[in-house]
Amino acid sequence: MSVLLLNASYEPLTTVSWKRAMSLVLTGRAELVEQDSTRTIRSAGGAEFPFPQVVRLIQMITFAGMRSKGTPRFSKKALGVRDNRECQVADCDERGSTVDHVTPRSRGGDTSWENCVLMCLEHNSRKGDQSLEELGWALKQAPAAPAGAIVFVTARPEWDAWLLPA
């Protein structure tokens, strides 16, 4: 089970395993911010610990890959989060399983947040290298880069207070 790891400034950094989270807490490098009240961790010695959901580092860390502003790196998983794993063709309720280039690559389109959307296999196959205008199709939303530097693919509802903008 994943645990959300926050920097000392309460900004989300990444997710870690519950074992790694407990290691950070027990060594004094992190503090428990939120716990799962329905679960506990028992040691071989009989000690009980709350099961972590969110932990915060005690000291602020920075690293080379950290970006405070700008867009997240493009990936199919992150695209799935942005498009809610749904086909983006208007009036389609199917699962989005393929990446479609709004402006086809054969016509100069690039692989970017602004040119890619998820589509179901049927719509992507029918579209081929045509434009949406040629087919008379519309999208549910205009493709755009997500706000923020981090996209959490494994986000859980209990993390919303830490991940969603206020």
The reply to whether 100 falls in a domain is: yes
Total domains, the chain: 2
**What's the whole-model pTM score?**
0.59
Dump pLDDT digits (tens) for 69-92: 567 778 888 888 889 899 999 999
22 and 58 fall within a common domain: yes
- Answer yes or no: are the C-beta atoms of 118 and 39 closer than 8 Å: no
pLDDT exceeds cutoff 80 at 111:
yes
- Answer yes or no: are the C-beta atoms of 117 and 102 closer than 8 Å: yes
Dump pLDDT digits (tens) for 27-40: 999 999 999 889 99
The reply to whether 117 falls in a domain is: yes
The reply to whether 153 falls in a domain is: no
- Answer yes or no: are the C-beta atoms of 156 and 162 closer than 8 Å: no
Portion of the chain with pLDDT greater than 70, in percent: 87
Tokens for 160, please give them.
């919303």
3-state secondary structure of 137: coil
29 and 86 fall within a common domain: no
CA distance 16 to 20: 6
60 and 104 fall within a common domain: no
Taking residues 95-102, what's their average pLDDT?
95
The reply to whether 19 falls in a domain is: yes
84 and 131 fall within a common domain: yes
Query: Can you give the residue range of the structural domain that contains 100?
Result: 76-135
49 and 80 fall within a common domain: no
Higher pLDDT, 64 or 105: 105
